[in-house]
Amino acid sequence: MTLHVETQRSLRTLNTFGLEQRARLFAEARCDAEVLEAVARAEQEGLPLLPLGGGSNLLLTGDVEALVLHMASRGRRLLRETGDAVIVEAEAGEPWHDFVLWTLAQGLSGLENLSLIPGTVGAAPIQNVGAYGVEIRDVFAGLTALDLHGREICELSLEDCAFGYRESLFKREPGRYLILRVRFCLSRTARLQLEYGPIRQKLAEFGVVAPTPADVSRAVCAIRSEKLPDPAQLGNAGSFFKNPLVEAEHAERLRQAYPKLVGYPQVDGRVKLAAGWLIEQAGWKGFREGDAGVHQAQALVLVNYGGATGRQLFELARRIQADIRERFAVELEIEPNVL
């Protein structure tokens, strides 16, 4: 056995809220063999197995009675090229933004709009992470996972993963699959997505007339840095609520009452409302109670000013949900996984 297992390990540095909670058992896996060892050890101890990437989409409300397995595998590679299309693969433990920068350095386009998203490659498909008009499913080419039900390594396709808005097979069947590595289909020819959010405005500020994928990445990084706090400076998990989808009739009624309502029509006829706009209109932006609060510049982000507990942050989230429900008849769904 090569797996090193610790007891009562602090998870403070392994969740971006910076919450001081402990894992009953803790290990790091740098290869498939160590993952299998961890699965066996968890079964031996009678504990669930909790995979952990960068902890950027996690709210810990108490100590974790599990074997927490930090996915620390590294590696990224070009698998094959067919014309302009290039299939690349990265291990689950690769930091996401580093991987995006690596693809750009290879002359590949497709992930630039997803720059500066915290977390790891292995965690990205779980939420179907997305930003500025691009989601994981738009460039997804398959992944390798361990099916914990049958203890078999399997390959999952785009169809298998059943991606939706911040949704996937992995959220519908939690605890079944442990993602080992992920593949993406990128392009040698840039097909830039510039229409969502202030990307064009930021490129203009940079004086860029004919943008490259690297230019778009730089613009996205600048926008995210302006809008979202750095977890290294202020504990947070990025966007805390999903943008809610409502029927078009509901959106129109809200627009009659709130002419500046921010919403985006969807192909299915529904409207995606900006959760941050709703929260700001309700007066929560900049709210602080003790060390738990709502960010001053972005109402969609809950923050830990240093001494908040996960329970306090969760209770604040529930209060915001109740207020938005009462004011707008809209249900806000929490985006991070709450343990």
Q: For residue 302, which of 294, 314, 310 has the smallest C-alpha distance?
A: 294
CA–CA gap between residue 272 and residue 274 (Å, rounded) = 7
**Active site includes 56?**
no
Q: Can you read off the two tokens belonging to residue 80? A: 């094959």
Tokens 């059943």 belong to residue = 162
3-state class of 53 per DSSP? coil
End-to-end alpha carbon distance in the chain = 29
56, 109, 168, 239: which is the annotated catalytic residue?
239
Dihedral sign for Cα 293, 299, 302, 307, please. Answer: negative
CA–CA gap between residue 249 and residue 256 (Å, rounded) = 11
**Active site includes 205?**
no
CA–CA gap between residue 111 and residue 217 (Å, rounded) = 8
Task: Name the burial class of residue 176, with classes exposed (0-12), middle (13-18) and buried (19+) by CB atoms within 10 angstroms of its CB.
Answer: middle
Residue 124 · residue 137 · CB < 8 Å = no
**Active site includes 74?**
no
Residues in the chain: 339
Question: Distance of CA 45 to CAs 40, 63, 149, 270, Å?
Answer: 9, 17, 17, 47
41, 137, 166, 218: which is the annotated catalytic residue?
166
Active site residues: 166, 239, 335
